Amino acid sequence: MNLKNLTPIREGSPSCKFCAGVGFLLEENVKNSTSGVLLLCSCVGESCPCGGKAPYMVYDESQNRMLPCVCHNARMELGKVEYLVKKAGIPSRYRYRTLDRMELNVDAPGKGGFIIAHNWAHDLIKDWGKENKKLEGLYLWGGTGSGKTLLACAILNELIFNYGTECKYAKINRDFLSTIRDSYQKESELHGMEQTIKKQFTDVEVLVLDDFGANKESDWANSQLYDLIDTRYEEEKLTILTSNIPPTDWKDKAEGRIFSRLMEMAHPLHLDCPDYRLSHSAFGTH
Ligand SMILES: [Zn+2]
Ligand SMILES: [Zn+2]
């Protein structure tokens, strides 16, 4: 798949019919990979004198020094996208999935919520980084299979492709609450790392918190959740939350502080299609 509408990168040959000038492309049908892989395009790599060996430099006799190979910039840009997607921790089945690769059948029953959320995501990407745009997060809620994790991850992938934004995907229990609990255990390798762990979550530019409130949380957990979203709100960082429960269910938790913060920082959208995953299994939704 050529990536010309997803990224401003142009390190390939402008007339190339495979990459349309980007310099690399997304190969989708790869064995043992649900998400596909990024490949250097033949318009960059075929006549490349460095033979694809890092650091992609070649000796120039006339200048008597090493110069970047013709493939150098394209490989660097490809590597940067790969690195940001990997560092973000996006689950492998959602890696490189983008908004334009989702089927939007308007007539499907209960599909309205998904389309509204899809449009919202599209506008977010389009307006990213523009001045005077209010940075509003998203509270995507709906049942299993409604496509909320897919949409949230697609936003991260798009931000990485389009802008090289630093992103993070996390399951709220496994990646946040449990790791903080581990940091209290003397025998854990995370012992004493509580502040470092929290910093990773508060500092990252865009954060997806998947399964927010999936379990019945203790007062301790609720106060951790409040502190996290409150800090991100204060720092004006974008947070996207997915949940099985409607935002009003937070009204009684942590003295209602979580609810009021959520209302201030995130736009609630309900995905009401109960079997999006079943009816569109090829798209790997969740
Ligand atoms: Zn090409
Ligand atoms: Zn080369």
Q: Does residue 32 lie in a domain region?
A: yes
- Number of structural domains (the chain) is 2
Domain that holds residue 66: 24-88
Lowest mean pLDDT among 55-59, 146-150, 196-200, 250-254: 250-254
Same domain, 28 and 82: yes
Question: Which listed ligand is nearest to 44 at the C-alpha?
Answer: 1
CB 23 within 8 A of CB 78: yes
Ligand 2 centroid distance, CA of 282 (Å): 36
Ligand 1 centroid distance, CA of 18 (Å): 5
Question: Which listed ligand is nearest to 23 at the C-alpha?
Answer: 1
Please state the pTM of the whole predicted model.
0.91
Lowest mean pLDDT among 113-122, 127-136, 162-171: 127-136
Same domain, 59 and 40: yes
Average pLDDT over residues 47-66: 92
pLDDT given at position 280: 44
Same domain, 45 and 120: no
Give which of 269, 261, 192 is closest to 232, Cα–Cα.
261
Same domain, 54 and 150: no
Same domain, 169 and 215: yes
Q: Residues 284, 30, 167, 2: what is their CA dihedral angle, to the nearest 10 degrees?
A: -100
Average pLDDT over residues 161-172: 97
Q: Where are the beta strands (DSSP E) in 16-99?
A: 24-27, 37-40, 57-60, 65-68
**Stated length of the chain:** 286
- Which among 20-24, 102-106, 115-119, 145-149 has the top mean pLDDT? 20-24
Ligand 2 centroid distance, CA of 85 (Å): 24
Ligand 2 centroid distance, CA of 17 (Å): 20
Question: Which listed ligand is nearest to 40 at the C-alpha?
Answer: 1
Same domain, 220 and 121: yes
Q: Does residue 15 lie in a domain region?
A: no
Question: Which listed ligand is nearest to 3 at the C-alpha?
Answer: 1
Question: Which listed ligand is nearest to 46 at the C-alpha?
Answer: 2
Read off φ and ψ for residue 63, nearest 5 degrees.
-100, -5
Instruction: Choose the final residue of a domain: 88, 117, 133.
Output: 88
Q: Does residue 1 lie in a domain region?
A: no
Percent of all residues in the chain with a pLDDT value above 70, rounded to a whole number: 93
Q: Helices (DSSP H) in 51-106: which residue ranges? A: 72-88
Same domain, 258 and 162: yes
Same domain, 122 and 166: yes
Ligand 2 centroid distance, CA of 104 (Å): 41
Residue 35's pLDDT band (cuts 50, 70, 90): confident
| CATH code of the domain in which 114 resides | 3.40.50.300
Q: Does residue 260 lie in a domain region?
A: yes
Q: Does residue 286 lie in a domain region?
A: no
Q: Does residue 7 lie in a domain region?
A: no
Ligand 1 centroid distance, CA of 52 (Å): 16
pLDDT given at position 275: 53
Same domain, 204 and 249: yes
Instruction: Choose the final residue of a domain: 43, 68, 88.
Output: 88
Is residue 278 pLDDT above 60, yes or no? no
Mean pLDDT rounded to a whole number for the chain: 89
CA–CA separation, 88 vs 185, rounded Å? 26
Average pLDDT over residues 243-262: 86
- Which among 20-34, 71-85, 239-253, 264-278 has the top mean pLDDT? 71-85
Same domain, 199 and 109: yes
Same domain, 36 and 176: no
- Residues, beta carbon < 5 Å, ion ligand 1: 12, 16, 18-19, 41, 43
Q: Does residue 122 lie in a domain region?
A: yes
- Residues, beta carbon < 5 Å, ion ligand 2: 48, 50, 56, 69, 71
Q: 135 by DSSP, 3-state: which?
A: coil
Q: Does residue 164 lie in a domain region?
A: yes
Same domain, 72 and 125: no
Give residue-wise pLDDT tens across range 208-238. 999 988 777 788 999 999 999 999 999 999 9
Ligand 2 centroid distance, CA of 70 (Å): 6
Q: 165 by DSSP, 3-state: which?
A: coil
Give residue-wise pLDDT tens across range 59-74. 999 999 999 999 999 9
